[in-house]
Amino acid sequence: MKIVQGWLSDIERIESPNADPRPSPDDISLLVIHNISLPPEQFGGGYIGQLFSNCLDPTQHPYFREIHQLKVSAHLLIDRVGKLTQFVAFDKRAWHAGISQFEGRSCCNDFSIGIELEGADQIPYTEAQYTALSQVTKLLIDHYALITVERIVGHSDIAPERKTDPGPAFNWHKFRKLLP
């Protein structure tokens, strides 16, 4: 696997319309780890891709009526079996962080890459997810010199008043041990 023109090679790609140019493409300097499950705490079904593609059918689940009009995306999704799907090229701004701040800088979408893990705050992540996440993270650190191990955070770290993900079930120690 390698990065070619902002896209990972040899993985599924579903381009999201919920992206735009970065203000400064050379300022990719933060990696944000998220979780998502649709419906909440349920896995599979392809609903995450539908949400990121603006195709989520509100009649499929009561929760979808609340969220189907959201315009959100992430660069990558890692599902429960470790499969990667890319929605936004890394050199573009995905709409994953919302109102956020890191080290005094707001608008983290401008300078970050967002990776969603299919999961929920209280449900343990899978070995396959940790493996895939560590492999992708190593690749991103090698490719984007401003991303360092110290600049990998959870969504809860940059939006603590609004977000809790990746949650207490995410084992930061285990993940960091897998990195260089």
Residue 127 known to be catalytic: no
3-state helix, strand, coil in the chain (%, to 5): 25, 25, 50
Q: Give the active site residue among 15, 66, 103, 116.
A: 116
- Residue 135 phi/psi, 5-degree rounding, is -65, -45
Going by DSSP bridges, is the β-strand pair 84-86/12-13 parallel, antiparallel, or unpaired?
parallel
- CA–CA distance from 121 to each of 29, 34, 41, 163, 165 (Å)? 25, 10, 9, 10, 6
Catalytic residue positions, numbered: 116
